[in-house]
C-alpha cells in the first residue's frame, strides 16, 4: 500500500493511466482500466493481473472490494486520489469512487487448444461485433451458459473498451477469451475434429433447434448489421438460424447469441431423444 495522496491530474501516473481510456493507449501499454467496486473486486478475486487500485480518498471503499484488495495487497499498489483525479480516469456519469489498472489477459490460445484436444468443448466465435454493449452482454451470457471459450475475430470493437468491460458484469475475468483471426481458429477446431456452425439466414440454414451441437463445436455469430462475413461463413460445416415469426428484420446480436448458446448448451447437457 502507498499512502501519499495524488491530487494533480498532471501526475505522471494519472497521465499514463488516462491514456488507457483510449484503445491506442491500451494497445501501447497492454493494460486497461476497470471501474467500480464490483468489477474491481471481480478482477482481484479472479486473479486478473491487477497492477494499481486508485480510490477516492473522500469516499468509503465497498467492504467486499476492500477485502479483495487486502488479500492481494502485497502484489498491487493502492493509491488514494482526489475526486478530480478519479473523474479523469473514469467514463461513467456517476463513478463509484474506485478504478483499477489491469494487465491484459495473456492466456495462450495454442496452449488452451492443445489442452482441450482430448475433450469436448463449445467455443463461441465472434465476427466483427461493433457495439461495446453487445460484446459485453455476449461475454456475460456466454459465461452464464457455460461456453468453454470465446474467440474475438479481427475488426471487432476492442475487448478492453470500458463499456464492454462494464457490460460483461465481471464475466471477462472468468471466461477464456482470445483475440485471434477467425479463419485460424476455425482451422484449429477442424483439425481437432470439431464442427463449425455459422449463424446465417442462408437458404440451407437449419432452424437453431434442429442442429446438432455435441462434441467439439464452434458457433459463429456475426456483425450486428451484416451478419457473418463471407470469408468466415464459407468455412462452415452447417448454418443455423433463429426463425423470425413477426415482421422484425433481425434480433439484437446479444439476444441472438443468448438464444443460440443456450440451445447448444441444452442439447449438450440434455441430448434430444431422437
Residue 200 lies near a second copy (rule: CB under 8 A): no
- Sign for the pseudo-dihedral over CA of 114, 118, 122, 125: positive
Q: How many Å apart are CA 178 and CA 220, to the nearest integer?
A: 14
> Of the candidates 4, 111, 203, 249, which one interacts with a second copy according to CB under 8 A?
249
Q: Classify 149 as helix, strand or coil.
A: strand
Selected range binding a second copy among 13-21, 23-31, 64-72, 168-176, rule: CB under 8 A: 168-176
Residue 9 lies near a second copy (rule: CB under 8 A): no
Interaction with a second copy in 14-73: which residues (CB under 8 A)? none
Terminal Cα-to-Cα distance of the chain (whole angstroms):
60
- Residue 227 is placed in which grid cell? 451478419
Q: How many Å apart are CA 42 and CA 47, to the nearest integer?
A: 8
Grid cell 463499456 is found at 163
Report, in Å, the least distance between residue 84 CB and a second copy.
Answer: 26
> Of the candidates 169, 179, 206, 212, which one interacts with a second copy according to CB under 8 A?
169
Residue 223 lies near a second copy (rule: CB under 8 A): no
Residue 201 lies near a second copy (rule: CB under 8 A): no
- Sign for the pseudo-dihedral over CA of 170, 28, 254, 36: positive
Residue 93 lies near a second copy (rule: CB under 8 A): no
> Of the candidates 146, 155, 214, 271, which one interacts with a second copy according to CB under 8 A?
146
Grid cell 461463413 is found at 233
Residues of this chain that bind a second copy (CB under 8 A): 133, 137, 140-141, 143-147, 169-171, 174-175, 209, 242, 244-252, 254-256, 258-259, 262, 265-266, 270, 273-274
Amino acid at each position: 500500500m502507498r499512502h501519499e495522496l495524488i491530487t494533480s491530474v498532471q501526475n505522471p501516473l494519472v497521465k499514463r493511466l488516462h491514456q488507457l481510456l483510449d484503445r491506442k493507449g491500451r494497445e501501447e501499454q497492454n493494460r486497461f482500466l476497470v471501474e467500480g467496486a464490483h468489477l474491481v473486486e471481480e478482477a482481484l478475486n479472479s486473479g486478473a493481473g491487477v497492477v494499481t487500485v486508485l480510490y477516492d480518498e473522500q469516499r468509503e471503499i465497498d467492504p467486499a472490494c476492500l477485502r479483495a484488495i487486502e488479500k492481494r495487497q502485497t502484489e498491487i499498489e493502492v493509491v488514494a486520489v482526489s475526486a478530480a483525479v478519479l473523474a479523469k480516469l473514469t467514463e461513467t456519469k456517476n463513478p463509484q469512487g474506485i478504478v483499477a489498472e489491469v494487465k491484459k489477459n495473456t492466456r495462450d490460445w495454442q496452449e488452451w487448444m492443445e489442452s482441450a484436444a482430448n475433450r469436448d468443448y463449445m467455443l463461441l466465435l465472434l465476427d466483427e461485433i461493433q457495439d461495446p454493449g453487445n460484446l459485453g452482454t455476449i461475454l456475460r451470457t456466454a459465461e452464464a451458459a457455460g461456453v468453454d471459450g470465446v474467440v474475438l475475430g479481427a475488426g471487432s470493437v476492442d475487448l478492453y473498451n470500458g463499456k464492454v468491460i462494464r457490460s460483461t458484469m465481471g464475466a471477462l475475468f472468468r471466461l477464456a477469451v482470445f483475440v485471434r483471426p477467425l479463419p485460424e481458429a476455425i482451422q484449429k477446431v477442424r483439425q481437432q475434429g470439431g464442427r463449425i456452425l455459422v449463424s446465417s439466414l442462408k437458404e440451407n440454414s437449419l432452424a437453431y433447434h434442429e442442429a446438432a451441437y455435441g462434441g467439439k463445436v464452434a458457433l459463429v455469430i456475426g456483425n450486428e448489421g451484416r451478419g457473418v462475413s463471407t470469408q468466415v461463413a464459407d468455412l462452415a460445416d452447417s448454418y443455423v438460424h433463429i426463425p423470425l415469426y413477426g415482421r422484425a428484420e433481425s434480433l439484437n446480436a446479444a439476444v441472438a447469441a443468448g438464444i443460440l448458446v443456450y440451445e447448444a448448451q441444452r442439447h449438450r447437457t440434455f441430448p434430444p431423444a431422437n
